Amino acid sequence: MAKRNGVGRPDLPRSLDDGGLVDLNHAPVEVLRDLPGFNEATALQVRERVEQLGPFQSLDEVIVEVGIAPGFEKHLREYALLLP
């Protein structure tokens, strides 16, 4: 239901307020690069990894594989979600 309603996809029109959540498995690079601790290269790395290996299963997996700096981990946990 969350995916169908556009939760975590600020790039899509939607009729509900999801509090600024971002779905790391589906949001485009333009949205990902604005997350705390992300830049263009990090956003591209996330997109490429999802396209090659499928969706991330946990935020810890993202943090380890992409190399999110420890100072940004807390902020990322506030905004990120992982829809299948």
Please list the rounded mean pLDDT of every run of 10 residues in the chain (84 residues): 86 86 96 93 96 96 90 89 94
**What's the pLDDT score for residue 47?**
97
- All structural domains of the chain: 22-81 (1.10.150)
10 Å Cβ neighbour count for 19?
A: 9
Give the model's pLDDT for residue 24. Answer: 97
Task: Return d(Cα 16, Cα 50) in angstroms, integer.
Answer: 26
| pLDDT at site 6 | 86
What are the backbone dihedrals phi and psi of residue 64, each rounded to the nearest 5 degrees, phi first?
A: -75, -50
Vertex 35: Cα angle to 60 and 53 (nearest 5): 45
3-state secondary structure of 81: strand
User: Could you tell me which of 51, 83, 49 has the C-alpha nearest to residue 66?
Assistant: 49
In the prediction, which pLDDT does 5 show?
82
Record the pTM: 0.88
